[in-house]
Amino acid sequence: MEVETTRWILVGVGLVMSVFYGAKAPDIFVSDSNADWKERWKKPAFRFHQTWLNFLGSAAGWVMLGFLIERVAFGARPALLHAAPVAIGAFLGVTGYLPVTVVSFAMAVGTLAEKATNALAK
């Protein structure tokens, strides 16, 4: 298959899936027992934020996957050191888990920084 055709198929599938994850993230990732999340979802700003966040997370994963596919299609063999993080990011993105992974990581770093600051202040 021609590289240009493959690129457009990937763009189409990635766009459809990114819209899907953006629109349906609560149905996919939130359990029925999470009443707080359901209340927050009723607020338009929160709903917009979550839709946008999950759309972008999925789109980023599809871009990373496209990058890897193009490198292989053109015969480039990226080093494992470079390809592994992109492959992990692509997997997390196309499966819808990139946003929660990034947000959880950012919150963990914030918690560690707060604990370090408190420890140094003593």
Q: Model confidence over 3-51: pLDDT tens digits?
A: 788 889 999 999 999 999 999 887 787 777 777 877 888 889 988 998 9
Distance between CA 21 and CA 89 in Å, rounded? 16
For residues 93 and 25, the answer to whether their CB atoms sit within 8 Å is: no
Residue located via tokens 């408190």: 118
User: Mean of the pLDDT values across residues 66-94?
Assistant: 84
User: What are the start-end ranges of the H helices in 2-121?
Assistant: 3-29, 35-41, 44-73, 80-94, 98-121
- How many other CB atoms are there within 10 angstroms of residue 100's CB atom? 15
Q: Model confidence over 86-120: pLDDT tens digits?
A: 999 999 999 989 998 999 999 999 999 999 999 99
Residue located via tokens 């080093």: 79
The pLDDT value recorded for residue 52 is 93
